Structures are given as C-alpha cells and as structure tokens.
Amino acid sequence: MSKEHDFDEMMEYLREKFEVGAFPGKDPDEDETPNRTPFEVLISTVLSQRTKDVNTHRASEALFEEYPTPKDLAEAPLDRIKELIKPSGFYNVKSKRVKRIAERIHQEFDDEVPDDLNDLLDFRGVGRKTANCVLVYGFGEPAVPVDTHVHRISNRLGIAETNDPEETERVLEKKIPKKYWIEINRLMVQFGKEICRPRNPRCDECPLTHMCIYYEEVYLDGD
C-alpha cells in the first residue's frame, strides 16, 4: 500500500510542535538552538554513538572546555581525553577516534573541518549520518542525516520502504523537497523521541495518521 505524503503539512506540524528539536551535543534542557562549530558538531556526533543525549552533552562540554580546537585535542594526552568523555561510554574507542580525527584536521586540513562529504567520510568512525550532521549543524548546508529515528519514522509513514539508513537517505533525498532538508533531522528526531517512539508510538496524539501506513496496518489492526 502507498500513501500520499504532504510534506508541507508534515513540516508545518513538526515546526510548530518542536521549535528547537534535537541534535548531537545539545543539552536536552536547552530551549534555544545553540550555535556549534563544525568541529564541535563532528566530535559530539562521534561521542553520541550508542549513548543518550544527556551523556553526549556532558562529555562534549567537558572535552571542549579543556580542548576547544582541533590542535588542542590533537595534542591532548589520550588518558585525559578518556577521563573527560567517560560519560559518553565506550570511551576507549571513542577517545582514540576523536584524537585521530583532530590530528588529521590539524595536519591535513589546516585546523578547519572539511565541508566535503567524502573528506568527512574518510575519517575513521565517521559514517554518513555523522558526516551529514556536520554539513547540516556545522555548516548550515542542506543534507539528510538519517539515524534510527529518521529511518524508523520514514518507514512507518511509508515515505520509504527500506532496510537500512543509507537507503532511506537516498529515498528521502528524492522525495523530500530540498528546502526542508536542513530541518528534517532535528524535527524527526524530536518527533521520534516524544511521539513516534520506537516502542508504543503515541498514534492517538499524532496528526499524521492519515498519511501513515503503520497507523493503518499495525496500530488500528491491533485495536
């Protein structure tokens, strides 16, 4: 079954409901959209892997307070990085990754994070979601970062019928007007945390039921 998706209507609802949205490194209690440098976005997104927002925020704050630039982090002792990023979990792996990324930015890119997708993907530990987050949140460039929330919601709505986030990214780029790309991640992530949750989505509170396959085929069917 397929559904018509009115992206203007969808975005109007999401914008109204979630003024700020969510993205890596943001304080979950912060109610304004903060400015982050591309370097902060890149490192925070690596730290955000497999942890909660609040832990990513704590680890990022501690790390950037002591090592605010690629050069600082490149020259930082590994043990100190581990200590600072401990709240984010997996700190043995993550500390090596962020230090190595900082070293490469310092040595190969003159302390400036590259704004090229392929250059970003060349950093170890940086996948498409992270690279696209850097483009959107660091450089303000249109891109579609697809994490588990965006992947799940797109499939529930029936915008995509895909098995992995990379495929979903390709479908969303084709279907969603480019003018919405810059906002789609932060809004869908917040929507996924509050309404279209991984388990027990709150379909009874959702105004997108008329364009949602999950609602028709799973939610109503289970009633």
Q: Does residue number 157 form part of the binding site for ligand SF4 (CB under 6 A)?
A: yes
* Structure tokens that stand for 62 in this block: 């501690």
111, 71 contact by CB (below 8 A): yes
- Which residue among 57, 102, 195, 223 contacts ligand SF4 (CB under 6 A)? 195
Window of 66-74, 87-95, 179-187, 210-218 that interacts with ligand SF4 by CB under 6 A: 210-218
Q: Does 184 bind ligand SF4 (CB under 6 A)?
A: no
Burial of 108 (0-12, 13-18, 19+ CB in 10 A): exposed
Does residue 209 belong to the site contacting ligand SF4 (CB under 6 A)? yes
Question: By CB under 6 A, is residue 181 in contact with ligand SF4?
Answer: no
d(CA 76, CA 32): 31
Q: Does 150 bind ligand SF4 (CB under 6 A)?
A: no
18 binds ligand SF4 (CB under 6 A): no
Q: How many CB atoms lie within 10 A of CB 198?
A: 11
Instruction: Measure the CA–CA gap between 16 and 11, rounded to whole angstroms.
Output: 8
CA pair distance 133, 139, nearest whole angstrom: 9
Alpha-carbon distances of 196 from 28, 88, 108, 153, 181, rounded to whole Å:
18, 25, 42, 7, 19
Shortest approach of ligand SF4 to residue 24 CB, angstroms? 23
Among 1-9, 10-18, 38-46, 211-219, the segment contacting ligand SF4 (CB under 6 A): 211-219
Whole-number minimum distance, CB 73 to ligand SF4, in Å? 39
Q: Which two tokens stand for residue 143?
A: 């891109």
For residues 124 and 202, which CB has a smaller minimum distance to ligand SF4 in the complex? 202
Among 24, 25, 165, 201, binds ligand SF4 (CB under 6 A): 201
Task: Enumerate binding residues for ligand SF4 (CB under 6 A).
Answer: 156-157, 195-196, 201-203, 206, 208-209, 212, 214-215, 219
